[in-house]
Homo-oligomer: A and B are copies of this chain.
Amino acid sequence: MSRFILPDDQLPTAWFNLLPRLDSPLDPPLHPGTREPVGPDDLAPLFPMALIMREMSAEPWIDIPGEVLDILKLWRPTPLVRAERLEAELGTPARIYFKDESVSPAGSHKPNTAVPQAFYNKQEGIARLSTETGAGQWGSSLSFACAQFGLECMVYMVRASYEQKPYRKAMMELWGGHVVPSPVDDPDSPGSLGAAISDAVRDCVQRDDTHYALGSVLNHVLLHQTIIGLEAKEQLAMAGESGPDVVLGSCGGGSNLGGISFPFVPDEDVRLVAVEPSSCPTLTEGRFEYDFGDVAGMTPLMPMYTLGHDFMPPSIHAGGLRYHGDSPIISKLVRDGRMEAVAYPQGKVFEAAVQFARVEGKIAAPETAHAIRAAIDEALAAKETGEERVILFNYSGHGHLDLSAYDDFVHGRLIEA
């Protein structure tokens, strides 16, 4: 027995809200013009009120609407898998579990929040959503979600990815999304996530029928992802474990990491680890301060670790981790010492992904491969000390549309970054 499947009727029906459980309150976002705390009305041009109210909610649990559950059930609950063949290859006494979020329509955890975001916008009479996407995971997830509720979806895709990843664009269009390269006003620029956010926000504020949707960073986004950790907790119990010793996730904006780790924050003995790329080391080398979420400075200022909103990371394959900032909640957990952070260069990351693919048969997204690298290193550390450590990591997405990255690695063409 190496896969643990939660029965369909045990799908969580409420999200886990970490905000009221934090040791001290989160500092508020500030208005980009006045630098005063933003109120709900300031955000109303961008988001539906149902999501805005979740940004600072004090409710410990938030019910998941039935219409959202009906769609999540297409792929949830997702499997928890014990990587026994990897354990044997490493010769470790550790038990390695991963939560398989790659089974969703778009192939990652992103639809977990795309679906409720589309739902709440539809409920408030919005007809169209605009968004940005880097590698394309988020844009394809939102396109899928919009198709479920009959919303139009406008995606500003970082130009470098738009040109390198035609398959992701095809996936978005298959689900009815419209995709244009960003920045829209500079066809010579390769673009960045921060610049694409500016394009999407600009689109939104110019049209009454349109709201903006963000795939990470914000509190309500991470809230929607907590379904991952809630399921994993139940599944570890099915596996006979009293709990994990360490929970790992790759970290760009923080949504897959927050999703798997937040339900474990109250369990004080559980170590939580963010894994990021050395080339975009927000948590390990950034400063904790108020900064914009986008390049143009149109979003509220958020209290977070940041490399500066004009930081331009190198073009590593893990496009989803190329973000200058980080979720304010994740940032606070790291600053408060509740969460650790480590960084790896991409060569070490792909080495781990290839080892995993050979023994476990699964080809991971480059983003996910960061968590695999750290999980393997945790297992090897347990081997050194002879500990029976229980390791849980988030297998946040598959790499079926990232095989050119593996091709570069296998043939020695990967840039070291």
Contact = CB atoms under 8 A, between A and B. Distances in A.
Complex copy number for this chain: 2
A3 B78 CA distance: 11
A54 interface: no
Interface string A168-195: 1111011110000000000000000000
Contacts of A9: 1
B73 A2 contact: yes
Given A170-B407, A398-B400, 5 more contacts: A105-B362, A171-B363, A173-B410, A174-B354, A174-B363
Contacts of A358: 147, 174-176
13 contacts: A74-B360, A75-B361, A104-B361, A105-B357, A167-B401, A167-B403, A168-B403, A171-B363, A173-B406, A173-B410, A173-B411, A174-B406, A401-B403
Interface string A81-107: 000010000000000000000011101
A377 interface: no
Interface of A: 1-3, 5, 8-9, 73-75, 85, 103-105, 107, 111, 144, 147, 166-171, 173-176, 354, 357-358, 360-363, 398, 400-401, 403-404, 406-407, 410-411
Contacts of A1: 8-9
A400 B105 CA distance: 11
A107 B170 contact: no
Contacts of A173: 406-407, 410-411
Interface centre among A3, A354, A411 (most CB of B within 10 A): A3
B400 A361 contact: no
A358 B173 CA distance: 11
B407 A166 contact: yes
A318 B137 CA distance: 26
B8 A404 contact: no
Contacts of A361: 74-75, 104-105, 111, 144
A175 B357 contact: yes
